[in-house]
Structures are given as C-alpha cells and as structure tokens.
Structure 1
Amino acid sequence: MNGTEGTDGTQHPGTAPYGAFDAERWDPEPDKRPGRTAFQRDRARVLHSAALRRLAGKTQVVTPGTRGPAWDASPRTRLTHSLECAQVGRELGAALGCDPDLVEAACLSHDMGHPPFGHNGEQALNDFASDCGGFEGNAQSLRLLTRLEPKRFVPDTRTGDLVSVGLNLTRAALDAATKYPWPRGDHPTDPGSPKFGVYEDDLPVFQWFREGAPRDRKCFEAQVMDWSDDVAYSVHDFEDGLHAGHIDPNCLEAEPERRDIWDVAIGRYVPADTDPQELADALDRLIAQEWWPHGYDGSAVAQARLKDATSQLIGRFCLAAETATRQGYGTGRLSRYAAELVVPRATRNECAVLKAIADRYVMQRAEQEEIRADQRIVIAELAAALTARAPEGLEPQLRALYETAPDDRARKRVLVDQIAALTDASARTLHAHLTRDGARHRE
C-alpha cells in the first residue's frame, strides 16, 4: 500500500488506492495472523458481531409474520437485506477498483444501528431522544462500531478505567460505512434534514477517521455502499411485493395507478421538480424488457422468471453506474476521494419507480398502518418504563454505562442504546414485562 503524504509529513487520503493512513485503527493493535489485510480483518469483525446477528430479528419493510400468505415463511429482514447489499456492493466495488472486503464491511454494517420496527421505530425513538441529541439509524451504526459492540477495550487516559472502542475498525472502514458524514443539523444543503451520521458524543472518533477528508463528502466506497443499498432494497422489496400478492403487474400499466406511484415517488425518492413523464418513461423501459415478470401468478415457472428479473434489474442498475463512472474516470482503480460514483439520472429514476411501487402497494396497505401505530405505542411505552425503572431492564453492559453516566442526558442516551439494540420480538417482550410489572407495582 502506498500512502499519500502531505507537506507536514502526515498522511491523508489521496489518489493511491490505499495506504497506511487508511488502514490505521483508533487503537493500534498487532495483526494476529500475517497475510490477512486490514480490511479482511474489518470484514470478519463485522460479520462475527452480535449487532449484525440481531438484524435477523428486525423489520426490513414489513414485520416478519405479517406479510403475504401463510406459506410465505421467509420474508426479508434487516440481516438478509444487509447480506444482499454486501453481495451487490462487493462486486460493484471490485469492478471499480475498490478493495472488495472494505466495501463489503461497509455494506454489512450500514444498517446495524436500526432499531426494532424499521423506520417506524426510528421515528418513535427519535421523538424520545429529542432532548439528548435525537436518534438516527446511521449515527447509531457508527456508535455500535466505535463504542457499543464489545471487541476491544483500552484504558481511559483520564481515569485509567477500561473503555470500549467497539470493533476498532480501520479509518477507511469507518468512513466507508458513513452514509451521512455530518452531525445533526449540519446537513450541507438542508439544515432541517433528519439525516445525519454522528452523535455529539461520538465526534472525537468521527473527526479522527474523517481527517483530511473533504467536508461533507462521502468517500467513494460509501457511495458504492449507498447505491448498493438502494439497488438491493428497491429490487427486493418489489420482488417480495409481487411474491406476496400485494403488487399486481397489470396495474402498473393502468393510468390511475401510475399517477399514485408518481405521487409517492416525487419528493420522496426523486427530486420534487421531477417531471412525472420521466418516471413514466422509466417504468415503460423496465416493462418493455423481455425478462420483466409479466402476469406473475406465483407458479414455479413464474417464480423462476421473477428471480431472473431480480438478477437482471440488479445487473442493469450496477452496470449503468459502472459504465458511467468509467466514462468519467477511466479504467484505473478508484477509491477513497479519487472519484465520485456516477449514476445516470435515467437509472436513478428506474430505481426510484421500484421503490415507489413497493411503498404504494406494500407499505401503505391499511393493515400496515394499524401495525405501525401499535409499534409506535410499544416504543413510547417502553421508553417511559425504562426511564422510570432503569437500570432495571438494561443489559449488563448498558447497566454499567447507565450507572456511571455523568448526567441525565447521558443516562437517557444509554436508554436509547438499549431500545435500539432490541429485536422486534425482544422489544415487545421487554415492553410487556416492564409495563405489566409496573402496573402491578402501582396497584
């Protein structure tokens, strides 16, 4: 690896693929097995983490057990989505010259911080955390990687007590996993945006791994991860919706239904000034493909065709990005801050149309709103019960952090960490335990 050195002798991310600067860890540690790269170690640490395993019990779009017919026993979860995102990202990154283990580690970890009940739970938890820095799944992912996932401990320079540095990933891996490289309220173009990538408590490590990086700019690997995330969930949510019977392919050619899709897409998945005709053209291009799942009826042959369509869509979206990026940057290895991922507008529109179809026909079903309302109640009541009864209800690791927290704000952040770590099922179990016992205690 060749680093890029500044005039002051320090290393900064540059045009060389990867250097010693990129492979640094917050706490230096020896390699246990010679021959492995630093990024292979990063990938292994993420893959073996408890936080990744917990994603198996967290909602992707629709809560497991509530979608489709009774025989549909394998809905996607946050874990399966992360694995699929990682496969897409690894291959796209490798095609563009990124280290594939680095991109895969970022893709595997990008959703680690999401709480139970998907984005619905994220909104409810953000309401609870409004006076201690808010909640954002991407910022929580960084907190897990650098603080909460127990892997490596170091002495605190002030007290001498052992403190966790999380998985102690490399600088480049943490940067690659950061989709929104700014704190709350510091969005580069929209200060009111709810999207951010770091809490105030975690700024020291954020500033360390962002050293030398252009302000507010995602590194190339993070851009590959972000597009792979979009590709994976847009295509697979569409696939799941068809398989579960919620999306009728014939409706996608009817004008009234199409207008509903454009209404969902514009402002949410594409810019507010997008002409609906652009989206109509995008959907027509997809429907015109020979492999499009026309007349899907759930039969074995239809399922095979749907799988082929899924593969074709992923390949189409990735190849478009690879080709457009290569046209702008040539055939060399692209990494860190040497390039920007180029995704053609037409391709982004096709991806957005799939997202909007799944949103309209899967997420906006009437019964789903009833489920989401109940989930918000569970999170709110669980947060209130933990506030009243902590450290009861906290895992041992978080109980210790709660008991040593310096003030109410820090203690509330620990409660947020606990709720965010729960699966859908464990959130309901803990809620039932604390609220039932609390009611009994009041009696």
Structure 2
Amino acid sequence: MNLAPYGCDPARSRGRRHEEDPRAQRGPRDSFQRDRDRIIHSVPFRRLRGKTQVFVAPDGDHFRVRLTHSMEVAQIGRAVARALAINEDLTEALCLAHDIGHPPFGHAGEDAIDAAMAPAGGFDHNAHTLRLLTKLETPYPTFDGYNLTWETLEGLAKHNGPVAEPTWALAEVDAGFDLALASWPSLEAQVAALADDIAYDNHDIDDGLRAGLFTLEEVLEVPLVRRCWDEVRARYRDVPVERLTGELVRHQIGVMVNNLLAETRRRVDEVRPHSPDDVRGAGQALAAFSAEMAADERVLKRFLYARMYDAAKVKAVRERAQAVIAALFAAYCDDPARLPEPRRRSSDDATATLRAIGDYVAGMTDRFAIKCYEGLIGPAELPEGF
C-alpha cells in the first residue's frame, strides 16, 4: 500500500539507541516489523497471558486477560491504520506492547506497588513498559532491552499525549534516548491509544454480561449501546435475543471505528500534515472521536465503572489482591535476600532496593504472585469467581 506522507516510514526512522551488527539481521523485514516481532517473541509479552484485565486470575476460560486484550487492540489498530494509510506494523507493535508494563492484578496491583514505592518515586505501568523494553530485559548479547526504534519507544511513552512531568522511570529512558516527550506522538501512536479504548469499552460489555455483573436491559440504558442494539435488532428481527449480544459488540466496535476514521480524516484535512513531524507539532490530537462520540463513550465508561469495575464482587477481589501485593512488597523489604540473586541490590541504597523489589513484583503474573505470597506468608484466600 502507499503510505500517507504523515505516516511513519521505516526507511526514515530515527533509528535505534544501540548500533546492531547487520549480520545479525534475519529475514526481509523493515525496522518496524522487527520491533513488532521482538515484542511478540518477548518474555514480558508472554507473561500477559497470566495478568488481570478486569478479573483476577479468572476461573472462566472465556474472560479476557492482558494478552488477549492486547491482541484485540492490535487487530483494531491495524485495521484503522490501513484505512488511514499510515504504518500498520508500527501501529500493531504499539498496540501489542502498550500493556507490557502492567503488574499482577491490573490496576489494583499497580496502586499497591505505587504506594509501596512512594519513597522511591512511585510506580506507573506505562513508564514500566519502557523500563522493561529498554533496560530490565536482556535477551541480546551486546545491549540491554530490545533496542526498539525511536518511533516505537516514543509511541509507547506518549501514546496518550505529551508528557509534561515524566516519572523517574520514564525520565531515565528519556535521558538515554531523547523521546521528545513534550510533543504529540505519531498518528500511529494516537490510533493505538484509541484502539485500546474501543477494545476494552466493548469487550468489557461482553465480559460483564458473561459474568452476570449486569443485564442486557441494564446496559441498554447507555444511549450509544441502545442505538447500536436497535440497529442490530432491526437487522435480525427473527433471531433470539441471546444470539445477538455478540453481534451488538461487533456492531458497536464498527460504529466507533467508523467514527474515529471520519473524525481523524476531518482533522487531517484541516491541519494538512506533510510528515510525521507535522503530526507531532500539530498542537492537538489528530486521531480522535467526534465530540458526540466522545461524550457517548464517557457515559459508557461511567456505566462500566459503576456496574463492573467497582462492582461489589470485583471490588472484594481487588482489595484482597492489593493486600497480597502490599504484603509481598513488605516481605521483600524486610529481607531483600528473599529476592532472586539477579534482582538483589546493595542494602545501603534504599531507593535502588525499593525499585528492584518493584521490578520483581511488577513482573509477576497473578498466579505467581499468589504462589509467592503463599510461600512467604500463608494462604492468599482470594474470593472465588473474579
């Protein structure tokens, strides 16, 4: 396909931080394709299969986890990128990697680690994604991290927009490889961020219905969902209702994607960027929902927070999961020698020790965190079901 002038061209990439031996390059792939493949083959990406999306270590095989969510985001992101004639491979790489820094138990685990690491600057899963991919993982013989291109690291650092006050972890990465944190990111990164919203908005409806946290009648109180449902019912008048919830989710994804495409094209036509740097310097997001869709999406999010994320059953598990992480962190602080040998730091550097513990705990899957807790402290006793 022909790349739009404002799409990121791998032939014009700003490159990688570390020079690589060309003899080690395998296969006819460009730099963004290599980034995507390095992410897919990485250990942190594989660990996402054992990390919470909404439900902690879910008993049900049909619920999403971080890995399946990331794959669904990548499918949506790549489809949007293709329609906009921007770089599909870079968009896919960003979608696949965007949650790699999440700790066990999702946002509950993140809150617990952030509190425990407050004396050392706190914890942020997005910054931890960069830390993992540039420093903590060491799969290559001559440099730390995966040596991803500037465009991939930039997109991961600021796919939600410019970063005015980077956390310590992101500041460390930026100091070693200037990511221009004050500017907007590429259009590929902006699309990846909205693909994430579209994926979890809709798939959480699916998981919430499957888990019995709310009924179809209740979610139809959300105007966007009601409009989409009415269109689905008009198309399948003689099909039983129970056969149509999947179609509702698919149709709503399509409605949101089409809105994103229309609004993004409108903004691009208005700004007329001629290069990726024009996108970065536009002073605003160019990939966006229309004002009406953005308002509708906020209403949907409020419903999901009230009826799913903060549901009593989910909240009970989340609170217990936070206690597990807090107790694990405390146990390692009491005796850092409990950390595996490669993770240990000098005991006279309190900040380095806290960050080493944070790196270790954040890398755990839900079940491994529970196993470590049971080995160090006792039965985890998480409520069943979620």
Q: TM (normalized to structure 1)?
A: 0.74
Q: What residue in structure 2 maps to residue 366 of structure 1?
A: 312
Superposed, which structure 2 residues align to 1:234-273 within 5 Å?
A: 234-252=201-219
**Kept after mapping to 2: 8 A contact 1:62/1:363:** no
1:219 is the counterpart of 2:186: yes
Tell me, yes or no, if structure 1 residue 49 matches structure 2 residue 28.
no
Worse overlay, 55-64 or 348-357: 348-357
Match of 2:175 among 204, 227, 237: 204
How many Å separate the matches in 1 of 2:242 and 2:275? 38
Shift of residue 24, structure 1, vs aligned partner = 0.6
- Structure with more helix by fraction: 2
Q: Secondary structure at the match of 1:362?
A: helix
Work out whether 1:149 is the aligned partner of 2:143: no
Aligned match for 1:177, one of 156, 161, 177:
156
CA displacement, residues 364-391 of structure 1 (integer Å, 9 cap, x when unaligned): 2222222122111111110011112223
Separation (CA, whole Å) in 2 of partners of 1:197 and 1:95: 37
The answer as to whether partners of 1:151 and 1:168 remain within 8 angstroms in 2 is no
1:94 paired to 2:115: no
| Structure 2 counterpart SS, 1:232 | helix
Q: Structure 2: which amino acid aligns with 1:368?
A: V
Q: Could you tell me which residue of structure 1 aligns to residue 256 of structure 2?
A: 317
Going from structure 1 to structure 2, the CA distance change for 1:410 and 1:327 (only over 3 Å counts) comes to same
Partner of residue 190, structure 1: none
Larger Rg: 1
Displacement of 1:34: 5.1
Task: Please state if 1:344 is matched with 2:298.
Answer: no
Alpha carbons of structure 1 residues 214 and 389: separation in structure 2 relative to 1, 3 Å: closer
- Give the counterpart letter for 1:33 in structure 2: R
Q: Which runs of 4+ in 1 moved over 6 A?
A: 292-295, 331-335
Shift of 1:251: 2.6
Q: Is the 8 A contact 1:142 1:197 kept in 2?
A: no
TM-superposed CA distance for 1:321, in Å, is: 1.1
Partner of 1:85: 73
1:146 partner amino acid: T
Deviation for aligned residue 1:354: 3.0
CA distance in 2, matches of 1:79, 1:73: 13
- Checking the alignment, whether the CA contact within 8 Å between 2:121 and 2:168 is kept in structure 1 is no
Name the SS of the counterpart of 2:18 in structure 1.
coil
Q: CA deviation at 1:324?
A: 1.6
Cα distance change on mapping 1:288 and 1:47 into 2, 3 Å: same
What displacement does 1:64 show? 3.4
**Per-residue CA shift, 1:241-266, capped at 9, x if unaligned?**
1122222122346xxxx6xxxxxxxx
- Shift in Å at residue 197 of structure 1? 9.0
- Number of residue pairs matched? 364
Q: TM-score, normalised by structure 2?
A: 0.84
The separation in 2 between residues aligned to 1:303 and 1:86, in whole angstroms, is 28
Aligned-pair distance for 1:58? 0.8
Q: 2:224·2:300 contact (CA, 8 Å) conserved in 1?
A: no
Matched ranges for 1:11-410 at <5 A: 15=6, 17-18=8-9, 20=11, 22-29=13-20, 30=22, 32-33=25-26, 35-65=28-58, 72-154=60-142, 164-178=143-157, 179-180=159-160, 186=165, 198-205=169-176, 207-208=177-178, 210=179, 213=180, 215-252=182-219, 281-291=223-233, 302=241, 304-330=243-269, 336-339=276-279, 340-394=286-340, 396-399=341-344, 402-403=345-346, 407-410=349-352
Displacement, 1:435?
2.4
Q: Percent identity?
A: 31
Shift of 1:413: 0.5
Gaps of 5+ in 2: 280-285, 380-386
- How far residue 309 of structure 1 moved from its aligned partner, in angstroms, is 1.8
Where structure 1 has 5 or more consecutive residues not aligned to the other structure, the ranges are 1-13, 67-71, 155-163, 188-195, 259-279, 438-443
Change (3 A) 1:364 1:42: same
What secondary structure does 2:278 align onto?
coil
Give the letter aligned to residue 435 of structure 1: I
Q: d(CA) in 1 for partners of 2:297 and 2:234? A: 14
Counterpart contact for 1:282–1:349, Cα < 8 Å: no
- Work out which structure has the larger RCO, using CA pairs closer than 8 Å and 6 or more positions apart in sequence: 2
Structure 1 residue aligned with 2:384: none
What letter is aligned with 1:322?
Answer: L
Structure 1 residues 324 and 199: CA distance shift in structure 2, 3 A: closer
Change (3 A) 1:73 1:18: closer
- C-alpha distance in 1, partners of 2:234/2:204? 15
Match of 2:357 in 1: 415
- Asked if structure 2 preserves the Cα contact closer than 8 Å seen for 1:293 and 1:306, the reply is no
Does structure 1 retain, via aligned residues, the 8 Å contact 2:263–2:289? yes
Distance across 2 between alignment mates of 1:371 and 1:112:
22
Letter in 1 for 2:126: N
Residue-by-residue CA offset, 1:379-415 (whole Å, 9 max, x unaligned) = 1110011112223233x5424xx25x88221121111
